[in-house]
Chain A
Amino acid sequence: MINLVFYFQVHQPYRIRNFSVLDIGKGKDYFDDELNGEIMRKVAKKCYLPTNKLLLDLIDKYEGKFRIAYSITGTAIEQFKKYAPEVLYSFRDLAKTNCVEFLGETYYHSLAFLYDKNEFLEQTRMHKETIQKEFGFSPITFRNTELIYQDSLSDYIWEEEGYKVILTEGVDRILQWRSPLYAYKNWNKNLYMLLKFYSLSDDIAFRFSNKGWVEYPLTVDKFVKWILDLNLIEKGNKNLFLNLFMDYETFGEHQWEDTGIFEFMKHLPAKAFKSKQIEFSWPSDVLEKTNYQPESISFPEPVSWADMERDLSAWRENDMQHNALETFYDILQKVKATGNPELLEMARKLSTSDHFYYMSTKYFQDGDVHKYFSPYGSPETGYNNFMNAVTDLEERI
């Protein structure tokens, strides 16, 4: 049996407005309320609302057999409330079906794990409380920002109450001869791990509408056939997990409706069930469905799901990114020392990884992706806005 594990990442950062040196000390807001509202409303209309409706219909239709998972960041939830509350209600409707698993992560979608372990744990707990409050769900599965993972992360998560599973990227240089289709355990063998199957995930998330791709167009028949082919590697009867992890905005936003992405998703379950070899599962189903002793796998160096390198270089490669991150975590300490909750909230909104992603100067294919997501004309503009905002924060202390 092969389990399709769909996990969708739902995230929106608080984009920083053009914040000049001249704005410092004026008590101005750092975030571009207009732009953030506009993007949220646009994505709600094109993606969140229609996709939630589609998946809710599928859940109803298959009476519990169609299972999916979401990781929704705290900053996304806050912005649903502020700009598009109907999105939050529709996620609550999904939660009520009991066919949806919600994952745990950092509230602010931050890189805190790499700089400040206490901050990382605080943000993780904040997120857990929010998911409990909004959806009545207590996360069992953890995924760190952008699937960033290394061995030491599992030690911190294991200490946290409730977590039994971690997700990360199926990176070739770590897996080597191993397949990402099997369940694994972390280096210390106390948590289950599921690894993203990036080629099939990216076929949906990135290549779906690419007319230059040899497999274009991607049909349900073709996709299910590929899945069944994958199942052939298992000669015994070990359960496999095909982990399809992607940004939720794939549906309707990155891949527009006219590409047929909604139709693809709508017809996938029927075809999959017809094969009798495919089931839909949650990440946490790995605890029950693993009918073998999983191998332990070690990630000595950090990995992520970003760019071709699948490392930290999307956020932490050039000098601007390093300088901005080091400055931020210094000032975060000072902000914490004041005990002022308002300042801390502002600081934490600046911890979101997207701010550092916008500063990336990587070129070729990946640079294009960075540019697509960035609200600024250049990485340097993103850097200056961030540094000026952080400086204003420091001056408020």
Chain B
Amino acid sequence: MKVLMFTWEFPPLISGGLGTACYGIVKGLLKQGVEVDLVLPTREEVYFPMRKETDVDDLPIKFISPQKEIEFTNTVFMNSMEKFEFIGVSSIPESYISLSEVRTFHTYFKNFMKKFENKTRVPFQEILNNIMGCENIFEKVKEFTLRAQRYAQILEYDIIHAHDWLTYPAGVIAKTVSGKKLVCHIHATEFDRAGGAGDVRIHNLEYSGMTEADSVIAVSRYTAEMVISRYLIDTGKVNVVHNAHNIDIKEFENEKRMFKDPVILFLGRITLQKGPDYFLEAAKIILKKYPKVRFVMAGAGDMEKKIIHKSAKYRLKNRFLFTGFLNAAHVAKMFSNSDIYVLSSVSEPFGIAPLEAMSYGIATIISKQSGVAEVIKNAIKIDFWDVNLLSEKIIELIENPDYRKKLGEEGRSEVELIKWEKACSEIIKVYEKTMGRINK
């Protein structure tokens, strides 16, 4: 079986949560003999033909244009980063068309979409109406969508797999061109990112992409329910495949600890979705009783300054600290210096960070409003808004080091069993069911 896969991120080129998940999925699929042609938002028209497991790290590159392919194979690159620069992938999503081209581009795009309009019942008008923003991200989505036609025509594959709204329009185009089935994977909805209703264009793109898809994969029941209730997606085609993780389970380092007193960690973007203010409010309550514990807020985000000022206003002294953005090595270091991890998210489609925390043997508290809460047992689960209960649970863990240790160790063993192989078997089942190879 071969999959044409559209995604916006893939490590190490672009590595957010979506990239990490796609890495695990592609690797797991390859392991089970499924080949993948991966399409990313690159400047050059290239794709990544993934044939064997090691390809997820080597990232083989192929150009659509034969002339370009010859030029590329004749170019000598000093390292892989140079190669990636050649095809134009950056860690920051950007648009590759110049401003002077924008107007003609708009007309061109409109005509492009119209070509498809009468062919099927596809809600192209919906996509056309909602993809018309002029922000960089929308420009880039449009370019990506335009190119989908070429990829769909030239490559050979059995099924199309598109990840999140950014690639849904491309998936729909590819489906129309090729007549192959489309699977839309939903890693996060605009409701999660915005903490309520968000950008109406994105909502509409999520809606029309999933409506047009033959199957939808949601990363949790939590997300599946949201998709069904808010986007009215046919329950019969929505499948839940929980994420797994690529974490190596580490042994505790013997390095000197950063802090003598217990450390309670928040790790994630400091943004509304992650509920940093609930973590802060709990800290305020707990520090009254235990003024010596340390709270660390790790990450960056649009609410960072607000939380810094508020923590200072509460006069939490140097018991509430901020790390700023952390790279992978620093994340590892931070985890190995923490005792309790808190995921306070208001809405978390899945949530990989708690699994990582648990792999370090850290006692973990997670918001019930998360997908990860469905798959793990050895973590304390609370409603994100219940600051009093969160404080009580943290205090319980502070007061009982044995309980803390037990919960941490059991969590670690549990996380060890969550593997991408299992998730990918389920994804393959969804493919087969969608293609009508098995009946269910």
Contacts and interface: CB of A to CB of B under 8 A. Distances in A.
Do the two chains belong together in a single complex? yes
Interface string A322-341: 11101100110000000000
B308 A326 contact: no
A22 interface: yes
Given A320-B309, A380-B304, A390-B318, A22 B256 contact: no
Interface residues of A, dominant DSSP = helix
Contacts of B259: 24-25, 395
A78 to B, nearest CB: 26
Contact of A383 (B294, B312, B315): B312
Contacts of B330: 20, 22
B317 A388 contact: no
A319 B309 contact: yes
B256 A25 contact: yes
A391 interface: yes
B316 interface: yes
B323 A22 contact: yes
A310 to B, nearest CB: 25
Interface in A83-123: none
A22 B260 CA distance: 14
Contacts of A21: 258, 296, 298, 321-323, 334
A119 to B, nearest CB: 18
Contacts of B298: 21
A110 to B, nearest CB: 18
A388 B258 CA distance: 11
B333 interface: yes
Interface string A371-396: 00000001010011001101100110
A318 interface: yes
A278 B305 CA distance: 53
Interface in B13-39: none
Contacts of A327: 317-318
Contacts of A24: 258-259
Contacts of B309: 318-320
B333 A22 contact: yes
A380 B309 CA distance: 8
A18 B92 CA distance: 24
Nearest to A25: B258
Nearest to A387: B318
A395 to B, nearest CB: 6
A395 B308 contact: no
Which one of A24, A331, A383 has the highest number of Cβ atoms from chain B below 10 Å of its Cβ? A24
A363 to B, nearest CB: 14
A392 B308 CA distance: 19
A326 B315 contact: yes
A390 B308 CA distance: 16
Given A323-B312, A380-B304, A380-B308, A22 B321 contact: no
Contacts of B257: 25
B123 interface: no
A330 B318 CA distance: 10
Interface in A319-373: 319-320, 322-324, 326-327, 330-331
Interface of B: 256-260, 294, 296, 298, 304-305, 308-313, 315-318, 321-324, 326, 330, 333-334
24 contacts: A21-B258, A21-B298, A22-B323, A22-B326, A22-B334, A24-B258, A25-B258, A319-B309, A319-B310, A319-B315, A320-B308, A320-B312, A323-B311, A323-B312, A326-B317, A327-B318, A330-B317, A331-B318, A378-B305, A380-B308, A383-B312, A384-B321, A387-B321, A391-B294
Q: In the A-B complex, list the 7 residue pairs whose CB atoms are closest, starting with the nearest.
A: A319-B312, A323-B312, A319-B313, A25-B258, A21-B323, A327-B317, A391-B318
